[in-house]
Amino acid sequence: MDDASLSTLVDDEFAPTKTYLNTASCGLLPRRSLTAVTELAGTLSAGRTDGSGDFAVVEAARERFARLAGVDADRVAVGGSVSVHVGMIAASLPPGAEVLAPEGEFSSVVGPFAIRGDLRTRYVPLERMAESVGPDTALVALSSVQSADGRTADLKAIRAAAADHGARTLIDATQSAGWLPLEAGEYDYTVTGGFKFLLGARGTSYLTVTEEAQPGLPPLHAAMSAAEDPWDSVYGPVERLSRTARRFDAPPAFLAYHGAERSLALLAEIGVEAVHTHATGLAARMRAGLVRLGHEPVPGRSPIVAVPGLGDRGADLERAGIVVSNRAGNLRASFHVYNTEADVDRVLDVLAG
């Protein structure tokens, strides 16, 4: 998609009332997605349906995410949050298994393992993940892009180290899917929250599972939506689980998924490469401007820009109508297709005083 077409599409779909640089917390909902949610809410309010949403829309969202992730749809499970998916993976590990994760990793990725109490969780600096995988490591779990500061992991080296030691891999793509190409089939598991760079709403999340990893994963949420024939499994325990990764589905939040299907369609129209070029270009512009102002942003090439020690400047930016985050003491700005060079310059102007 050329720049002019992208600009027109963005103007048609987004209308932020502030300078919004906080996609790493929550992406903006496109107009088409707002329309889908509003239509379903109106239908529910008027009693014009015999259910709370359309399973066909959920399947369409599953298929759209599968194409984005580079896997077949039967390798994708849907749910409501990353921690729900990770909880199943944590339940699959035997007592005493070692889980290797980065220091400061997002709690949804490490919390379900730590809370069990009978697993060995080991934390190392992100840049030492590959070299820290050992013969006792059962699972390597990490975000492809770190939430607090936008650092990216050396996934190729980590994947190779895990294969050398027979460890499974779990990648959280919440801060990368949508702007960074994802090849989910290269990992035993991926988990992705759909409400950030995928431009959906809270209540949408996706789990991918390789065929080899599926037998060992317990289908903890085995309700009718996880059955081979959902409408024959409404009452009583599910007798036949789906033969695909749908057996790991958590019951979907229909309002969220009706919007997510439209958001994923928009991303498909734009293309991940176009999002990547646009968003990382703006982030590079901001990093260069910060250096000129005498600040030292965390090095990187992701759309997430973090400046250690400047987290308290968020209040100044808020007063100027600019939305950013304070994460682990970092001033964090994050960019998507709806941001412009003018947004970057506005932040720099405020920080310059």
**In the chain, where the domains are located:** 3-29+271-351, 55-269
Instruction: Please name the CATH architecture into which domain 55-269 falls.
Output: 3-Layer(aba) Sandwich (3.40)
Please, which residues have CB within 8 angstroms of residue 223's CB and are 6 or more apart in sequence? Answer: 238, 251
Neighbours of 49 (CB within 10 A): 11
Q: For residue 117, count other CB atoms closer than 10 A to its CB.
A: 7
Neighbours of 62 (CB within 10 A): 25
Question: How is 269-334 classified by DSSP, letter by letter?
Answer: HH-HHHHHHHHHHHHHHHHHHHHHTT--PPP-SSSEEEEET-GGGHHHHHHTTEE-EEETTEEEEE
Query: Distance between CA atoms of 98 and 141, rounded to whole angstroms?
Result: 11
Write down the pLDDT at residue 313. Answer: 94
Query: What pLDDT was estimated at residue 49?
Result: 80
Structure tokens at 285: 């512009």
pLDDT at 255: 97
For residue 271, the Cα-to-chain-centroid distance in whole angstroms is 17
Ranges under pLDDT 50 in the chain = none
d(CA 262, CA 268): 10
Alpha-carbon dihedral of residues 37, 42, 43, 47, nearest 10 degrees?
Answer: 140
pLDDT at 4: 84
The Cα 153–Cα 27 span in angstroms is 22
The span from the CA of 336 to the CA of 328, in Å, is: 22
- Per-residue confidence (pLDDT) for residue 181, from 0 to 100: 96
pLDDT at site 5: 86
Rounded distance, CA 289 to CA 302, Å? Answer: 16
Between the CA of residue 214 and those of 87, 190, 209, what are the distances in Å? Answer: 15, 13, 6
| Alpha helices for the chain (secondary structure H) | 3-13, 31-46, 55-69, 82-92, 107-114, 129-132, 155-165, 254-270, 272-292, 314-319, 341-351
What pLDDT, on the 0 to 100 scale, is given for residue 237? 93
For the chain, the residue count is: 353
The dotted CATH code for 3-29+271-351 is 3.90.1150.10
Residue 15: predicted pLDDT? 92
Distance CA 326, CA 294 (A): 19
